[in-house]
A and B are shown apart, each in its own frame.
Chain A
Amino acid sequence: MDKSVRPQDSARVIPDRLPLGLKEALLRWEVLLVVLLALVIAVNSSLSPYFLDLYNLADSTVNFSEKALIVLSMTLVILCRDIDLSVASIIALASVGVGLAHQAGVPGEVLPLVGIAIGLLAGALNGWIVTRFAVPSIVVTIGTMSLYRGIAYVVLGDEAFTRYPAEFLFWGQHYAFGLIPLEFLIFLGFALVFGLVLHGTVLGRHLYAIGNNPVAARFTGLPVDRYRLGLFMVSGFMSGIAAVLLTGRIGSTRPNIAMAWELEVVTVVVLGGVSIMGGSGTIPGVVLAVFLMGMVTFGLGLMNVPGIVMTIFIGGLLITSIALPLVVRRLTRS
């Protein structure tokens, strides 16, 4: 061995980070999202005088805050090459659990903990099946999606749980300073935590390593399956919180609560620049996508566009935002 050649003397120095020039910085996905967001806000405020109203704007955040919480955990799950399609069903299951606990006389202050615990357990079951039997998470969570919501239907049938106590409704209906919904503040808090963990800790780097190459990550000694199990539990945990907030906001539990949310959540994550193949994506990106989606639906709502028509915009936004860079790259290359 030639000990005189230190890594930094070698011609092939591999830097810790790639140098970030102005051009690369401007072409980042997040920049594109900021531009899109500015565009949407400009168009919306020119079309409707009610859009830039502070109270309206603050109030509109409740429509996406619960979904946005799951977007955060889904980002980590997809980053590690998995997917969790059962999140909306976990909401239904946790909400039913909260309703049953309430009927059994559990006090309102404790009900949120019941919902979160059920979410955590449901997520743990997902993660256990995926890692223990080494099966694709998409299939497992399609199964548990059916199972969890199925249990909600078995318990409730065509009934509903209502009359939740005020201490519980507080979480979904309180406005801080009489203006900003508590739900939105909770989302911002979690966004900060997720951002710091993913981009500022060793654990975050481990997740990127697993997402880029799980086999290599395993060979470097990372407990890959334990991380994946943990992420499914995080996903269940966040779904449990979303269940508490949503149930508190609408004040009732029906088995079809949060129906088809999983697809919207995945759409936002992908729109936020997270590769569905794993390994890349950022929290600021998905938070911007959350706002973009929220502002698009809020603006369309002000223009009395029905929800089902909005889905055309959302689907189109998803496809064009992914397709456009690919088309541009192809055109510039030739």
Chain B
Amino acid sequence: MSRRPHHREWVLGGLVLSLMLLIGVRAPVFLSWESLDALLTDVSILTMMALAQMLVILTRGIDLSVASNLALSGMVVALLGKAAPDLPLLVLIALAVLNGAVLGIVNGGLIAGLGIPPIVVTLGTLSMFRGLIFVISGGEWISSHEMPAAFLDFPRERLLGLTHLAWLALLMLVLVHFLLKHSRIGRELYALGGNPKAAVYVGIPIARRQLFVYTFTGAVSGLCGYLWVARYAIAYTEIASGFELQVIAACVIGGVSIAGGIGSVAGCVLGALFLGVINNALPVINVSPFWQMAISGAVILAAVVVNSREEKQQGKRILPVSEAPHG
């Protein structure tokens, strides 16, 4: 971990805040309660997915199949909701989470059990899960009038002024924070990513921890699958296509190192918020939404370069040979 663990998060937080103020100056409506509420609701799914992805990246892994998992789990519950409208909502949500977790176990089993590189496994399951959606749905669209009303309303219903979506994201934030800072498993994930060999020597069960993180991202993807389908009131083969890259981008912007072992909940959430602000602000300040992709690309590159400078200060360079005594 960085020697100044909170430095980067403060900078990023300041950036997000000043960006929001800047946009607010040009279009005051952006800082209205309704707009901020919409922003919070919009970034909830991305935040949850990014937090789960961070656990995977901490262990030097990557899960490219999360968006396909989300879409497949979403389609499964949409079909279930259509076929059995009387099923209690809680059962449906539980099934979505379970479905996602099972898909996650497939990834985890192949990675932890057989030792296939995560990028290869999840690249394969990315295509397979996506293809399966077409198979189980027959290429059909499930639209809002085919889903039960309670199913559709849940993510947008409010509790103490905030939408359920926002509450779930906050809950996930607390959960992952507790896991990483106050549980043994969380500390082991940092150790595992920081130095896998040393982690073996101190007795960390690497395979089990890997299985855990991929199952966890799977379960979160499953939950988000239900939330996505219910929020946008539509399920079809292509939903959330390419979303995995946004999730990884949120992590990278938040300072999670793709080399493993470095990353914080605050950074990850701010990374997701940053992308959310850009996406929501463009229409408000009359910039064509076609700019969105190019801007997030530029932001990712900027974040990578800035983060690399901080990481480099820890003296990882091998050449030139004459090393400074203190980096």
Contacts and interface: CB of A to CB of B under 8 A. Distances in A.
A278 to B, nearest CB: 11
Contacts of A139: 252, 258, 300, 304
Given A276-B120, A323-B110, A147 B297 contact: yes
Nearest to A260: B242
B159 interface: no
Interface string A271-295: 0000011000000000000000000
Interface stretch (A108-116, A171-179, A313-321): A313-321
Given A308-B130, A308-B134, A315-B127, A133 B305 contact: yes
B258 A319 contact: no
Interface stretch (B29-37, B95-103, B111-119, B191-199): B111-119
How big is the B interface, by class?
35 or more
Contacts of A180: none
B249 A146 contact: yes
Contacts of B304: 129, 133, 135, 139-140, 143
B290 to A, nearest CB: 4
A151 B294 contact: yes
A105 interface: no
Contacts of A316: 124, 128
Interface in A95-124: none
Contact of B120 (A135, A136, A318): A318
Nearest to A308: B134
A306 B139 contact: yes
Given A150-B292, A157-B290, A311 B116 contact: no
Contacts of B126: 263, 315
A62 interface: no
B interface, over-half SS: helix
Interface in A133-172: 133-136, 138-140, 142-151, 153-154, 157
A215 B119 CA distance: 23
Contacts of A327: 114
Contacts of A148: 297
Contact of A277 (B117, B139, B293, B295): B117
B207 interface: no
B123 A142 contact: no
Interface in B80-122: 110, 114-117, 119-121
Contacts of B317: 134
B114 A153 contact: no
Given A147-B301, A151-B294, A308-B237, A315 B308 contact: no
Q: Which 7 A-B pairs have the closest CB atoms?
A: A150-B294, A147-B297, A146-B297, A150-B293, A315-B127, A312-B131, A143-B300
Given A140-B301, A308-B134, 14 more contacts: A134-B317, A142-B249, A146-B293, A147-B300, A148-B297, A153-B294, A260-B242, A263-B123, A309-B131, A311-B130, A312-B135, A315-B125, A315-B126, A319-B121
Interface of B: 62, 64, 110, 114-117, 119-121, 123-128, 130-132, 134-135, 139, 237, 241-242, 245, 248-249, 252, 258-259, 288, 290-298, 300-301, 304-305, 307-309, 312, 317-319
13 contacts: A133-B309, A138-B62, A149-B297, A150-B290, A150-B291, A150-B295, A154-B290, A260-B242, A276-B119, A309-B131, A312-B128, A316-B128, A319-B116
